[in-house]
Structures are given as structure tokens and as C-alpha cells.
Amino acid sequence: MINGIIPLYKPLGMTSFSCVSKMRGIVHQKKVGHSGTLDPNVDGVLPICLGSGTKVVDYLMATGKTYRGAITLGFATTTEDLDGEIVAEQHDFTPLTMEQIKAGLTHFVGSITQIPPMYSAVKVNGRRLYDYARHGETVERPRRVVKITDFYPIGAPVIDKEAGTQTIFFEVHCSKGTYVRTLAVDFGRYFGLPAVMSQLTRIASGGFDIQQTVSFAELEAAQAAGTLEQLVYPIDHALHGFTHVDLTVDQWERVQHGAFLSATDLQATEAEIVLRYNGSDKALYCYDNQHQLYKPQKMFSLE
């Protein structure tokens, strides 16, 4: 079994689930997952976790994400992007100046509360919101607090006088769970204008940037050539922020049996540490204040 992470370039038109299914066919194993859903009309970085790499998905997602995209002012849709039906239009507005655009984007920097769009994969009462939407049903959506680290324009906006629209190009650095579609709509609402997210590419996620990604074609070629594992990053890529402790032979034997370890033996003081043996990450241990010992939180390998 292959264990690790592949920074996939997700093409337009594919769901994240279909990417996982295709990856299973390439690597010939079932234990495959992704770290952060991308909509079909969004391309870019989609880290794929293989084998024990599926245990570090949460740590990959915690690093945040970076997107480049476009917001078009002048109309709004049911899905908050170009896939939906138009539900509002206003084409006789005065185009925003660059100063207004910068101020509007900066307004959303910091911790903000978002309501997920109805056409999203968020579950409410066991059903995806998009399932409610497709059946014409409404349901109260859970609010979520996300963090926008940076949000700024890229280049000059484009005004289409014939269509009565203005398109603004941006880059945004945000926490996991952020809906950039909703950011686009809220940006328009800030100026009293209908808006949609008209294009989006994820350029960084899980500590990978888009230059590091590999395509399905490259993966299939590598599999045929027997070099696929050269494209796989170790699970430590997701754990580099933790203190690492190298185990002795005796400690490793105890860890294999789920033993608690003392902070003195490990010479550690951090709340969470990665335990290594023979140069390989074996487990993530956390400190238990009640017992004053380190206990297993995640096991990556018993071999």
C-alpha cells in the first residue's frame, strides 16, 4: 500500500469525489481521501491522501487555502456562481473605482460569519444542502465563523458595457470552511449590487502550491513507468509544525502496544508531539494532564 500525499491538480468539471475514485483506480488501493472539497467548476490544488496519509487530512486542512478568482457584478444566481439560474439583475450601476474595490475587499479581512450557500455539501439533519435546494426545499443553514487573512484585487477590473457588468479579479487567503462564492456575493451586497463568483482556482492548500501539483495524465504515466511513488510526499509534510521525538527501541515496542509515555522519558513539554522511529513518523501523542503522561492520539504505522 502507498502511504502519503499527492498534490493533485484538480481539473475543471470533476467533483472531488470523482477525483478520489479516479485516484483509486490509478494507485490500485481503496484507502484514498482528499483534504478539502472543490466544486466541479473550480480547479487547482487538491491534496489526495493515500493509506495512512488519510489520518493527517485534518492537519493539511488546518493550514488554510489560497484562491485566485473573479467576482462579476450585475447579476446574482441561485448557486452564487455561473452554474445557477439568474435570480437578480442590476446593470445600470456606476462601476466601482479601484479605491472602492480595495476598501470592499479589505472589509472582509478578519474573522467573519458566513452562511453556507444552499447549493453546497454542508449537511443539515443528515442531508446535504444541495439536496434540499434541488427539491425546492428550504432549511435553516448553520452559521460558521471563518478567517480571511488577506483579500485584495489583482490587476484592473473589466467593464462590459454591453452586458452591464463589471468583473473584479482577486486573491484571497482564508481558513478551511470558507465559501469563496459567498464572499463574492457578500462583496456585491456590501455595495448594494448583485454579484456572482465567475471564476475560481485554488492556488495553495495543505502546504502545497499549484506549481507542485501533478495531473492525472502525469500520474497515469508514472504508474505505467513504475515511478508513481516518486510523486508521493510523506505524511510528515502535514506534521512538520509539530515537535518530533525519536524513539528508542524499547519506547517503540511500547508504542506498538498503545502504551502511555512519560514526558521525562520523551524529554518533551509540548501538548502534541510526533513520535518517530527509524526516520519514519509512527504516531501523534498528546499530553494527558490528568495522568501526566503522553498518550496516543493517532497511530500512523505499527511497522
Asked whether the beta carbons of 223 and 27 are under 8 A apart, the reply is yes
Which ranges in 124-262 belong to alpha helices (H)? 129-134, 180-190, 216-225, 249-256
Residues 6+ apart with CB under 8 A from 92: 164
Residue type, 191: F
The C-alpha angle 173, 10, 159, rounded to 5 degrees, equals: 60
Residue 43: active-site member: no
Residues 6+ apart with CB under 8 A from 119: 78, 79, 80, 83, 84, 129, 130, 133
Selecting among 39, 81, 236, 281, the annotated active-site residue is 39
**How far apart are alpha carbons 276 and 248 in whole angstroms?**
9
Length of the chain, in residues: 303
Residues 6+ apart with CB under 8 A from 288: 260, 294, 295
**How far apart are alpha carbons 55 and 33 in whole angstroms?**
9
- Grid cell listed for 295: 498518550
Asked whether the beta carbons of 213 and 8 are under 8 A apart, the reply is yes
Active site residues: 39
